[in-house]
Structure 1
Amino acid sequence: MGEAGQSREGESITPLLGGGTGNKVAAPPQQFNSLPAPNENASYINQATSYLGSYFSHSSEYGGKDSCKSLSHPHELLRSTSGGDGDSPVSVCVSPGARCSTSSESPTSAANSPSAESTDTPSQASNAIVTSNWLGLSGTSMFQGLIERALRTVRGSADDIGWLQRDPEMPPVEDGTDRFNRILEDIGCLDGVFIFRHGVHRLPNTVVYLLVPGLFSNHGPLYFVDTKTKFSKMGLACHIAKIHSESSVEKNAREIKEYIEELCWGSNKKVLLLGHSKGGIDAAAALSLYWPDLKDKVAGLVLAQSPYGGSPIATDILREGQLGGYVNMKKIMEIMIFKVIKGDIQALEDLTYERRKQFLKNHPLPQELATVSFLTEASISPAALATFSHVAQAELPLTKLPVVMPLGAAMAACAQLLQVRYGEKSDGLVTCCDAEVPGSVVVRPKRKLDHAWMVYSSLNEAPLEADAAQVCEALLTLLVQVEEEKQRQLD
């Protein structure tokens, strides 16, 4: 009997793959002579597949860990026969991270080489087929992952915006817009017949007013300054919370709690809080987390343009599994916030819908707390693109030079983007439905106001309209009325 792997006399063997032990290889049928050489096709296909596999091999989303590890060995080869004389076997490397190469051997060396004999064994042929199948599955998985990322990117925050209003467990809101407008008219605006009403100020001086700034407020020297100045001229004790607004919500909540306790200890008065943007979330978190310690020290809270339910801007930037994940957008934002403005990336993460849902589930606002929420819609007209905000001033020897920035134009562009993408009205950063605090008295003015208007004065301010300080005064006056009604209900 002959040894295994050798043919018996009189029998002819035609190998399916090149590189057999014999020197004679059956030529392909004549009708296929016009096609390109199979070894050239295999080389091109596997070079492209190897390149794509190496590019996406870092992502665990495409295939399992075992399949990724299986491509880490540089000895996986796919062999094919030549399209010419069929005597030159070709080995194509399909290992990711390495350049694919082809090597041809002479019939003599192929016949005499032990490795050439081993490539004809059924196990080696099976390995080549398995490798080819894996490449097909990997390519399918890779493109499926790309499609999923694209759909996730396009869908964005469409399912999250307005979740507070759709949650049946949240308490309903009360519309206080008409009451707010009447208070604002009494403070000092023009009425319908253009008769100026002298200022009627109803804010009591028996409480302390604490203004809580929002995100990036440390980089705007005039943030809330105009409001504080006008409150002080009315004889009201008004303070701006000196917190690091780019810190996390829980860290700022602890600092606000200490701030409230210090003000109460020094004045023996209760505190009314008005928080703008993230400042409203920080103040609300302080009352939610430390209410047993603060319930006798706080009279109420106003949240002005605060993303209480979450922010689509922050969520879209930091969402996992998007096309932007290939450039690691979260890492870029972390570098910008930490290195440039000396902040914490968690300050932005705390504004995402996922974090807000989790926090509000564990720490809701106390129901006995008097709360007013203020939301606005930014103008997207061409005139809004020419709006500049006064954010600082340069001290010169003889004068003060205002430092302006096109914040109004930026807010208008963002508002238009949110309107086109999600069909939602916003102030440029916060959608109107996400700014409504459940259980609060909601103010929805018809006047177009962007997110920056509440804290920075505009250079083209309308002379017949209320300014930001008057709006803050009207909101706090409404809060005093709501707090009195709450007390009567509890009594």
Structure 2
Amino acid sequence: MISAGSSRIKAYLQLRMGQPDSWRSWTLKNEHKLPDSVVYLLVPGLFSNHGPLYFVKTKAYFSKMGLACHIAKIHSESSVSKNAREIKEYIEEIYWGSRKRVLLLGHSKGGVDSAAALSLYWPQLKDKVAGLVLAQSPYGGSPVASDILREGQLGDYVRLRKIMEILVSKVLKGDVQALEDLTYERRKEFLRQHPLPQEVPIVSFHTEASITPSVLTALSHVAHLELPIAADGNSTRIPVVMPLSAAMAACSQLLVARYGEKSDGLVTRKDAEVPGSVVVRPERKLDHAWMVYSSLKEEPGDEADTSQVCEALLTLLVEVAQKRRHETAMKDE
């Protein structure tokens, strides 16, 4: 497991989410400080096949503030290197069309793909990119990816294996290829060969899934419900409907039991931190799929609102970048 010795900024911009309205109150109090001197590029991740445009609401929110915002329409099942090239092309096209630098926010694998674009193509992108937010991204790898693809690894963990089967077939909708590049082995090798440029301002954001007794009860009913033997002699099996949030929580619980690591259901907290980045660790429980189902609701209710969280994280990134430029200027004097 790749550890991250990141700098720790606690409760910056009130990113605690202890109260339902904390993000909303932050937004109102700060009166939308995101600059229009850059263009914002949102990069979706593994759950893009549940809602290919789950950033659409956030894009509209940014547009209402007069900000140029785009969504990178990449395929989550593609390799990191392929998506990295597509993101590079998005950045170049945006820059050539606007003459403005780009701030990226990548969710889940989208953050890994975005970071890879900067690692692989930094000479071409260094004058075009202003910074990157990685939200719930398996930068160091994912235990779920490693376990699913390691034959026999889950032999003694029957319930975990069943959860993984559901994640692949129902939640990730068969995107096993997308997990290849997220194993610890692949990530370790990639980061060794292609480290992120140190001058890139980075914000890491990671969360932890809520684990409730009802979720643990659901574990005993995971996978399939077997019905009486049919006329042809074969048993009839039907899939059990399991909410996405329940699958994430169940997986999180089993990862704690197996590895002793807290996670959002797919990514452990440690693996989501980019070394040297500013790290946001909200107290509020949010699983890996939270951005997807939050963005599909008209009103967030008691949940953190995706658009406002993205705004807050990007505002933090802007301030981190400004601070870094100031420090660099002071050194040059």
TM range (shorter): 0.7 to 0.9
**CA–CA distance in structure 2, aligned partners of residues 206 and 385 of structure 1:** 48
Question: Which deviates more from structure 2 when the two are superposed, residues 251-260 or residues 409-418?
Answer: 409-418
What CA RMSD, in Å, does the superposition of the two structures yield over aligned residues? 3.1
Structure 2 matches for 1:340-355, cutoff 5 A? 345-355=176-186
Does the CA-based 8 Å contact 2:43-2:106 persist in structure 1?
yes
Give 1:383 shift.
Answer: 6.6
Amino acid at match of 2:24: G
2:246 matched residue in structure 1: 409
Structure 2 matches for 1:46-445, cutoff 5 A? 160=1, 163-165=2-4, 172-181=5-14, 188-189=24-25, 197=28, 200-320=31-151, 322=153, 345-382=176-213, 406-445=243-282
Does the CA-based 8 Å contact 2:136-2:267 persist in structure 1?
yes
2:301 matched residue in structure 1: 463
Amino acid at match of 2:200: L
1:13 matched residue in structure 2: none
Give 1:410 shift.
Answer: 1.1
Give 1:412 shift.
Answer: 1.0
Q: Secondary structure at the match of 2:46?
A: coil
Does the CA-based 8 Å contact 1:264-1:271 persist in structure 2?
yes
Larger radius of gyration: 1
Give 1:224 shift.
Answer: 1.5
**CA–CA distance in structure 2, aligned partners of residues 178 and 385 of structure 1:** 31
Does the CA-based 8 Å contact 2:15-2:280 persist in structure 1?
no
Please report the TM-score for the alignment, with normalisation by the length of structure 2: 0.79
Residue by residue over 1:325-359, the C-alpha shift from the partner in whole angstroms, topping out at 9 and shown as x without a partner, is xxxx9xxx9xx88xx9686x542110000000000
Does the CA-based 8 Å contact 2:208-2:264 persist in structure 1?
yes
Give 1:409 shift.
Answer: 1.2
**CA–CA distance in structure 1, aligned partners of residues 42 and 277 of structure 2:** 19
Does the CA-based 8 Å contact 2:44-2:72 persist in structure 1?
yes
Q: Secondary structure at the match of 1:239?
A: strand
**CA–CA distance in structure 2, aligned partners of residues 428 and 186 of structure 1:** 24
Residue by residue over 1:11-65, the C-alpha shift from the partner in whole angstroms, topping out at 9 and shown as x without a partner, is xxxxxxxxxxxxxxxxxxxxxxxxxxxxxxxxxxxxxxxxxxxxxxxxxxxxxxx
Do the aligned partners of residues 296 and 186 (structure 1) sit closer, same or farther apart at CA in structure 2, a change above 3 Å counting? farther
Do the aligned partners of residues 487 and 183 (structure 1) sit closer, same or farther apart at CA in structure 2, a change above 3 Å counting? farther
Give 1:178 shift.
Answer: 1.6
Q: Secondary structure at the match of 1:476?
A: helix
Amino acid at match of 2:102: V
Amino acid at match of 1:456: Y
Please report the TM-score for the alignment, with normalisation by the length of structure 1: 0.54
How many matched pairs?
291
Do the aligned partners of residues 182 and 249 (structure 1) sit closer, same or farther apart at CA in structure 2, a change above 3 Å counting? closer
Give 1:318 shift.
Answer: 1.0
Does the CA-based 8 Å contact 1:183-1:478 persist in structure 2?
no
Q: Is 1:446 aligned to 2:279, yes or no?
A: no
Do the aligned partners of residues 419 and 229 (structure 1) sit closer, same or farther apart at CA in structure 2, a change above 3 Å counting? same
Q: Secondary structure at the match of 1:372?
A: strand
**CA–CA distance in structure 1, aligned partners of residues 53 and 242 of structure 2:** 12
Q: Secondary structure at the match of 2:32?
A: coil
Do the aligned partners of residues 259 and 385 (structure 1) sit closer, same or farther apart at CA in structure 2, a change above 3 Å counting? farther
1:26 matched residue in structure 2: none
**CA–CA distance in structure 2, aligned partners of residues 323 and 451 of structure 1:** 22
Q: Is 1:472 aligned to 2:310, yes or no?
A: yes
Give 1:422 shift.
Answer: 1.6
Structure 1: gaps spanning 5 or more residues: 1-159, 166-171, 191-195, 387-403
Give 1:463 shift.
Answer: 3.5
1:193 matched residue in structure 2: none
Q: Secondary structure at the match of 1:164?
A: coil
Residue by residue over 1:388-433, the C-alpha shift from the partner in whole angstroms, topping out at 9 and shown as x without a partner, is xxxxxxxxxxxxxxxx982111111111111122221111110111
Q: Which has the higher contact order (CA 8 A, sep 6+)?
A: 2
Structure 2: gaps spanning 5 or more residues: 156-160, 218-240
Q: Secondary structure at the match of 1:470?
A: helix
